[in-house]
Amino acid sequence: MSLVAPVEDGKIVETASESSMKKAKKSSESGMDKDAFLQLLVAQMKYQDPLEPTSNTEFVSQYAQFSQVEQLQNMAGSMDLQRAGSLVGQMVRVKTTNTSGDTNYVEGKVDYVAYENGKAFVSIQGNLYSIDDLDTVADKEYLEAYEMASEWIIALNKLPSVANISLDDAEDIDALKAAYDKMNDYQKSFIASEKVKDLNAYVERLAEVRKIAEELEKEENGDKTEGTENGDKVEGSEGTDETDGAQATEQ
């Protein structure tokens, strides 16, 4: 387990692993296990009414129930350990809730399985998590594709409406288009067709915005060039008039 704890605002923050371990411990302590059942049976025998003692038949029946509880608990623990053992080497996602009520997700490969106090724990990135907090078991390629699609859709949703985009949004739109083109068919299958249509609409609108910007730039450059040419002609004409005047004076 990790020996480093995160700190925020000068206070130690409970990690997802600690939340999972505490939850498992609390569940184990609050549950009605075989030891509690046996204590109740002993207490019943100790404090029974001596004038109306419990019959041997009832004690045998209760002991049989105790044996059944013990067998069921052992079976449940064995099944949890077997289920956890089958996860070694697989990519999983664990969902935990801390004392503040915040939900945390931890993803990673299960390195090994530990079994403590009748509970199975999986080790992910050096931390232990209760098997009860297991949320998803998936292939690594699936998780990567899912996260890639989620981040891509979030970035797409941050863009303004298609009608309101400008050249300031060009870099983001180009990056989204490039990222989508690099995805393989499996990764693209995680993106809804409506989102792909939205991307194409942004790309088409951006092309129009760029074309309009280029036309405006050409018009501005054309006006500057025309003004410069006109200015040269005027200066040339003035020079000609002065020369003609000088020649007339000499004559």
pTM above 0.85, yes or no: no
Strand ranges inside the chain, DSSP E: 7-8, 11-12, 91-97, 103-116, 119-124, 127-130, 134-138
Instruction: Report which DSSP code applies to 135.
Output: E
What letters, b where the CB count within 10 A reaches 16 and e where it falls short, cover 84-115?
A: beebeeebbbbebebeeeeebebbbebeebee
Q: What is the pLDDT of residue 60?
A: 66
pLDDT block averages, 10 residues each, the chain of length 251: 48 57 54 66 73 66 70 70 78 80 83 80 86 82 89 95 94 96 94 95 95 90 66 50 46 41
Q: What is the pLDDT of residue 248?
A: 42
What letters, b where the CB count within 10 A reaches 16 and e where it falls short, cover 131-149?
A: bebbeeebeeeebebeebb
Q: What is the pLDDT of residue 56?
A: 63
Q: What is the pLDDT of residue 2?
A: 44
